A and B are shown apart, each in its own frame.
Chain A
């Protein structure tokens, strides 16, 4: 498997422009996560999907952010309009087990994509 695939790897745009980040999860993984990473705030979970359905979007910072998962092999994270404070690395991750059921269940292992580094000028 090629792992989790994200595009673009780097995006530089001007404030006010629309940004679309794309993700292809590992085949067979039923959970997909969008994270944002900055020096100041660390890793933040934005939203996650289970079987293409958004489960928890409480981490989405504002209405300017939206995410979709039209099928099991594709998801997008859109920012419209973008602002300089959105500059960050955005990671997509997928997992075969979204929930940790307890100590005997095992880890919820996330496989991350390489990330999309967004710079908003």
Chain B
């Protein structure tokens, strides 16, 4: 079946770098997106990878390897405000190309 797998929780220290992984199994491949959701908030779009390689947006970067069906979100110079859940998402042909979502990774940042 179609699925995206992410770790349920990751812990890191303020100022450090953390990587959140996502492996996917979808019908066809149409790109991998990342969303951030703070507790009590709504998911907000962070980044997108349509092709292999690294996409950088400030402190956040996202990487994709289509041959490995794998991607990751890299957060640098962690700040306490980065404490949130991070979701990977990908369109799925069997779902009328709508996004299917990973279960989310809760990022806990310690001072």
Contacts and interface: CB of A to CB of B under 8 A. Distances in A.
Nearest to A44: B101
A98 B99 CA distance: 10
Given A48-B98, A56-B96, A102 B42 contact: no
A108 interface: yes
A interface: dominant SS: loop
A99 B91 contact: yes
A70 interface: no
Interface residues of B, number: 24
Interface residues on A, range: 20 to 34
Of listed B33, B42, B50, B104, residue having the most chain A CB within 10 A: B42
A45 B99 contact: yes
Contacts of B91: 99-100, 108
B108 interface: no
15 contacts: A42-B101, A42-B102, A45-B95, A55-B96, A56-B96, A91-B43, A98-B97, A100-B91, A101-B30, A105-B30, A105-B31, A105-B50, A108-B33, A109-B48, A114-B41
Given A91-B43, A112-B42, 10 more contacts: A99-B97, A100-B30, A101-B30, A103-B30, A104-B50, A104-B51, A109-B48, A111-B45, A114-B41, A115-B42
Interface of B: 29-31, 33, 35, 41-45, 48, 50-51, 87, 91, 95-99, 101-104
Interface of A: 33, 42-43, 45, 48, 55-56, 91, 98-115
